[in-house]
Structure 1
């Protein structure tokens, strides 16, 4: 098996093809617990993935792995590999060890083409992370990725699409819950407001997000924006129908070190920075290291 993993890590399809003639166990795990197909998906070599799939390699995540083949392909941005896996019946909504789908990862890593393909393949746009309850829309709003937010909101039946694929998405997919809440009661609008993302805040408001939505502790997006002195976002929310009625009184947040504006959270009676999505263990560097970690 070591030879097969080495050939995969070196992206050598001719060697993989030769080794497969000796009928190795295509489900045999490496020392890190990954499968050959997971290693191939991380490497991004579509021909190797195709060779393994021809030998009936499972598209499912191996028991010891953090991510399955579809998660690795989507997170790293290997479009052709992702397409092959989906064609072979990979579960588009399968969860990683941390409770994310491939769509969560594609959004987190700003892999827009992969996100578009996943949605076209039936991915659930408002699926919640099994741990913290984040939807892909929460993540996109926190990152200020307006393009990704628009892509996710294409599933709204009132959206008029500009491309054939977007029209297909609009017609075939159910509407997304724009006000879906995470485990703390945050909506995507709360996330956009706390992250200082004015353009995404405005987009969500225009798309009908509830400007009066409250977290589990009764905090509105307007309250977050005002406490962080985001004047522009405060104006957008008020224009979108947010009011100051029945707002709970909270102390102003302590000054943030180094001007960091990405870690707001509710804590006790006041507003502190909520841990960003990346705190779940999903980090860009994790994917950058995927090939050596999977193979060795």
Structure 2
């Protein structure tokens, strides 16, 4: 029996009787400490007992077994894994007050933190465990310790809408105007969550209208999230919290939110009219006309914002014009750097795609992608997501060409004119990522960069797969062939190396199945591209080396052989272009052996003898019988012997 797992399972299930049986069989204190402190799945028995609220188990482990009350572990809350969580943090987060008391009484550090610098107090604030919050504070918990993002206990209580906890923290003089790493305050969090009661409390304790790193005030944050009651309270004239211009911006931005989130065109128009009346007041005050230097954007149908109430009325009859107004207003007020600006452009494009209006979708998505690449760092998750949406859209169009879409429109064909501009932007993003990799020194940052670089490479390969399928279409012209070859050659020429030292061909040969589904236009990038024989053949013809090795000595053929089911056409293409079926990786495996051990029917896929040369057999004989060859065989053949 594995006593380590048995002890852990008993603690997890709260079975004290079974736990005692397992632990009493060990007389040595050292062995007992080893079992009690051992981790299963990154978690100790005490951590899992505290997470699951098993008081008697935790008490036994602490008082009789002398378990380390500070030893952290990994726990899961709401599907998210928390790394480095001490037992007290787990008990506080899960709302087990008796366990919190037990641990504090045993001497647990009330200000211990997880790997992300979250304290037990912050964990209790997150889920609204008021009694635990009060107990921890009374026993020395510091209310101002922030997590790695700079979010304090007050901020999270405001964001989650826990009125009683927020009121308690304010009574302890919590810093209402403290800023997080991104510059937001508790007032921002409250405005986003929509709690008017907490908002009034914050204002009563001196909260100010600061801006975050995106230039957003709490007022604009409420407008973006659509909390009308928060906006109305903040712009009330009697409070004097905002300027006239800020009030106008808030109303116009709230109107844009009504269009995109609520689909309420009439409500949006009413808000925009109020803003227009504020711009041109009847009392003769100085007017504040709309800015005249706002560029007219093709993706928005060159929409111009109305300059008076009559023009506003006219656009209500045109739903598309209203939607474009919302995008224009959001970009003007929030700017291209704000995530919501590009998100709603992409969202509107996705709506058009679902309606079968693919050209409008592509136009908007290109604008969003261009904005992101202009203001975001290389390999940004937002940029990845935009590129991936294009890849999914093109794959869907190629699969469904000629069939009716959701709204009955016939899905048009994908052309090289559609894919080429996106592919160029994807390769440009890879170029930027490789430059960033060159200056990344620390191993953790380098590994993270390699991971994100691989995701962009996968998306590029998905786009290249779409282009490679165009070559097989009967109406494919010489110009299309030339352009596709040029683009895929550009990818091959990059000679990129991503995680585990894999080349672009490695990644192309190691993917799974495509997961394209109608309507999933805003999904996150995948980590593996579908293995496509057409793309692999094209890459090989354009110079991708079939014998390249990754960090484990695998060739692309090794990786293709490991797939289940194995893509037979990919294997044949690799072999036809010079890949060796008997090349040995660093674990001593050949592709032929991998295919046999994975119960693949290699005989129906390829004939190994057809791809085994006399040179291969001779090299294997030299290696198998450990024959000396250094000064016997010509130098040019040494690499052949080594690879076999």
Fold equivalence (TM over 0.5) = yes
Q: Deviations over 1:36-91 (max 9, x none)?
A: 21122122121211111122211113366622211110111111111111112212
User: Residue 59 and residue 196 in structure 1: after superposition, are their counterparts in 2 closer, same or farther (change >3 A)?
Assistant: same
User: Alignment partner of 2:107: what SS?
Assistant: coil
Q: Deviations over 1:91-127 (max 9, x none)?
A: 2122212331112211112222222211112111122
- The alpha-carbon deviation at position 150 of structure 1 amounts to 0.9
Tell me the residue number matched to 1:244: 243
Q: Deviations over 1:138-168 (max 9, x none)?
A: 1111122211211221212xxxxxxxxxxxx
Q: TM-score, normalised by structure 1?
A: 0.73
- The structure with the largest alpha-carbon Rg is 2
Give ranges in structure 1 of 5+ residues lacking alignment: 157-175, 260-265, 274-296
1:57 and 2:125 matched: no
Is contact 2:5-2:40 (8 Å) kept? no
Distance 1:267 1:148 in 2: 35
Which structure's relative contact order is higher, taking Cα pairs within 8 Å and 6+ residues apart?
1
Distance 1:228 1:48 in 2: 45
Q: How does 1:5-16 map to 2 (within 5 A)?
A: 5-16=8-19
Give ranges in structure 2 of 5+ residues lacking alignment: 76-82, 264-333, 342-644
User: Residue 230 and residue 51 in structure 1: after superposition, are their counterparts in 2 closer, same or farther (change >3 A)?
Assistant: closer
Tell me the residue number matched to 1:31: 40
Tell me the residue number matched to 2:172: 155
Is contact 1:42-1:69 (8 Å) kept? yes
Tell me the residue number matched to 1:272: 340
Tell me the residue number matched to 1:283: none
Tell me the residue number matched to 1:180: 178
Is contact 1:74-1:114 (8 Å) kept? yes
Distance 2:194 2:49 in 1: 39
User: Alignment partner of 2:340: what SS?
Assistant: strand
Distance 1:186 1:100 in 2: 18
Q: TM-score, normalised by structure 2?
A: 0.35
User: Residue 269 and residue 79 in structure 1: after superposition, are their counterparts in 2 closer, same or farther (change >3 A)?
Assistant: same
| Number of aligned positions between the proteins | 246
Tell me the residue number matched to 1:77: 95
User: Residue 150 and residue 31 in structure 1: after superposition, are their counterparts in 2 closer, same or farther (change >3 A)?
Assistant: same
Q: How does 1:22-171 map to 2 (within 5 A)?
A: 22=26, 23=29, 24=32, 25-54=34-63, 55-62=65-72, 66=83, 67-130=85-148, 132-156=149-173
Q: Deviations over 1:7-63 (max 9, x none)?
A: 212312233233332252244323302112112212212121111112221111336
Match of 1:222 among 219, 222, 228: 219
Is contact 1:213-1:220 (8 Å) kept? yes
The Cα RMSD (Å) is 2.8
Which structure is higher in helix share? 2
Distance 1:50 1:199 in 2: 40
User: Residue 233 and residue 26 in structure 1: after superposition, are their counterparts in 2 closer, same or farther (change >3 A)?
Assistant: same
Distance 2:156 2:103 in 1: 24
User: Alignment partner of 1:213: what SS?
Assistant: coil
